[in-house]
Structure 1
Amino acid sequence: MASGVTVADACKKIHEEIKRDKKHRYAIFYIKDGKQIDVELIGARNEEYEDFLTNLQAGGAGECRYGLFDFEYMHQCQGTSESSKKQKLFLISWCPDTASVKKKMVYAR
């Protein structure tokens, strides 16, 4: 097992496109060849959370993944009558119970 896992430049680019530019709704990442985190799939801006969850688990019962999701919601502050749009980025680690211990350990680092 490699001593360290690196992050591909494409991941950093997609992260900025989601966070700053709002180009995509989400991205799914995987560890390629046990050595580098890379982009597996990018979700269009009009996709929903259910699409994200489906794609996060699309690798199968034995596969782990990372997911980055841009969550948007309306929030009304106490004492005001107006709602404002808020956004939060969530980074999710998906490691199903059916994945091998080795895979879970690599994704847990």
Structure 2
Amino acid sequence: MASGVAVSDEVINCFNDMKVRKSCSQADLKKRKKAVLFKLDDSKEKIILDQEKQITVGDVLEGRICDPLNSFIKMLPLNDCRYALYDASFETKETKKEELIFMHWVPEDASVEWKMIYASSKDALKKKLTGVKHEWQVTSIDELMDRCELAAKLGSGVVAFESQKI
């Protein structure tokens, strides 16, 4: 079911910046987004970037954020829905990887109205996020706190998630 909600150019640009891995200066690398939240605007007509809910690679590299997953979890509103992009760093026995995860945050305490609006608008956003390998619908903080469960969702053989051994 499509809601007719539009996706802002700002969201598409943010996604493209996160998706494309290119060589860049250290300063540009630090500006790169590690995690972002998207929300519906007040008119419920457009999906926009939640400007106050972001983590940059610089936040992690400079030590302002030691555990990006935990900081990401703290950004999620406990009683409102959101969409999120998370640039996950993980290791398998063979290699280190970084892959984008699209999350649909639907906490149990969110109103039924908002759950329905976000659910019906998700496809409009997903169509714009071409190339995302992983999509997760998350309903509780506990689901995100379990690194073993997150690792399993990324595939078999994951031995570390965000530099923490599984």
Q: What residue in structure 1 maps to residue 49 of structure 2? A: 39
RMSD: 1.8
Instruction: Measure, in 2, the Cα distance between the counterparts of 1:12 and 1:71.
Output: 19
Which structure carries more strand by proportion?
1
Counterpart code for 1:93 = H
Higher helix share: 2
Give the TM-score taking structure 2 as reference length.
0.55
The answer to whether the aligner puts 1:72 opposite 2:89 as a matched pair is yes
Q: Is the 8 A contact 1:27 1:67 kept in 2?
A: yes
Structure 2 unaligned spans of 5+:
22-28, 121-166
After TM superposition, the structure 1 = structure 2 runs for residues 18-37 of structure 1, keeping only pairs within 5 Å, are 18-21=18-21, 23-32=32-41, 33-37=43-47
- Range moving further from structure 2, 41-50 or 95-104: 41-50
Q: What secondary structure is seen at the aligned counterpart in 1 of 2:110? A: coil
Long gaps (5+) in structure 1: 78-83
Q: How many residues align?
A: 99
Residues of 1 paired with 2:82 and 2:104: CA distance? 6
Return the letter of the residue paired with 1:66. Y
**1:51 — aligned with what?**
71
Alignment partners' CA distance in 1, 2:87 and 2:19: 7
Work out whether residues 56 and 67 of structure 1, in 8 Å CA contact, stay in contact via their aligned partners in 2: no
The CA deviation at 1:76 is 2.1
Task: Give identity over the alignment, percent.
Answer: 28
Paired with 2:97 and 2:17, the residues of 1 have a C-alpha distance of: 17
Equivalent residue in structure 2 for 1:106, among 117, 121, 124: 117
| Partner SS for 2:88 | strand
Once the two structures are TM-superposed, the CA of residue 17 in structure 1 deviates from its matched residue by 1.4
- TM-score, structure 1 length as denominator? 0.81
- 2:5 maps to what in 1? 5
Q: How far off is 1:100 after superposition?
A: 1.1
